[in-house]
Amino acid sequence: MRFVVTAGPTREYLDAVRFLSNPSTGKMGFAVAAAAAGRGHETVLIAGPVNLPTPKGVKRIDVVSARDMLKAVHASLTGDSVLVATAAVADFRPKVCSKRKLHKAEIARQIELVPNPDILKTANARFKVGFAAETDAVEASAAAKCRAKGLRLIVANDVTRPGAGFAADTNIASFVSPDGTTEKLPLMTKRRLAAKLVERIESWS
Ligand code: PMT
């Protein structure tokens, strides 16, 4: 199979040095890419700004913003690819971005935001798998995203739980199907979760 994996955060710049972002480190997505490549699949990894080495056998494309990530995903996808979107994409960006660093007095107290494109929703792939970082109504919110984005599966993680979500080497996840069917998984390393996910995707072909 051919895997395209997104990982890490995006940065949405307000000026030359200030941006909106989130705490994603890319660990989850890099683990998925490593698992896919390790099982012999051609794998493209599209990474936001993170500080991780490229897994063996993976083609990596570095991006900064959601719009960069969208372009890289669309350019990398073929109709027979599997898209696994672990990236924590900023839903909004500042409407205006200054090329130079704004002086403190020049920065508006209210920043106008505009929506970013939804990369996963608009992508055309053989199978689409999403991740959902939730803090409440975890499985129900994930199932709603799964249906709204036309996914085969979504991996829900409650990022309020110790050992789960952003930056940890472990995760506590559930595999959630569009009809809400949920398989709750115990705490495990992101590497183990990634291997389980790749095995699940292989079972669809
Ligand atoms: O990187 P780590 O530190 O290891 O942390 C891992 C993680 C917590 C980031 C990861 O496990 C995770 O949960 N990723 C999804 C983050 C998220 O909040 O997604 P979301 O609920 O905003 O979006 C749902 C899905 O749509 C995701 O697959 C996302 O990549 C995708 N999406 C969202 C918005 C957008 N504009 N484009 C997208 O493609």
What digits encode the pLDDT tens for the residues 52-63? 999 999 999 999
pLDDT, residue 79, reads 86
Residue pLDDT, tens place only, 108-119: 899 999 999 999
Q: Which CATH number, 3.20.20.70, 3.40.50.1100, 1.10.260.40, 3.40.50.10300, labels domain 2-202? A: 3.40.50.10300
Identify whether 116 is a catalytic site residue.
no
The residue extents of the domains of the chain are 2-202
Mutate to test the pocket of ligand 1, among 11, 24, 32, 139 (most ligand atoms within 8 A of CB): 24
Q: How far apart are CA 68 and CA 142, in angstroms?
A: 25
Nearest CA among 163, 164, 162 for reference residue 133: 164
CB 83, CB 43: distance < 8 Å: no
pLDDT, residue 147, reads 97
Q: Which of 22, 51, 124, 171 is catalytic?
A: 22
CB 93, CB 20: distance < 8 Å: yes
Task: Please state whether the predicted TM-score (pTM) of the whole model is above 0.85.
Answer: yes
Nearest CA among 92, 125, 93, 94 for reference residue 6: 125
Mutate to test the pocket of ligand 1, among 70, 120, 129, 159 (most ligand atoms within 8 A of CB): 120
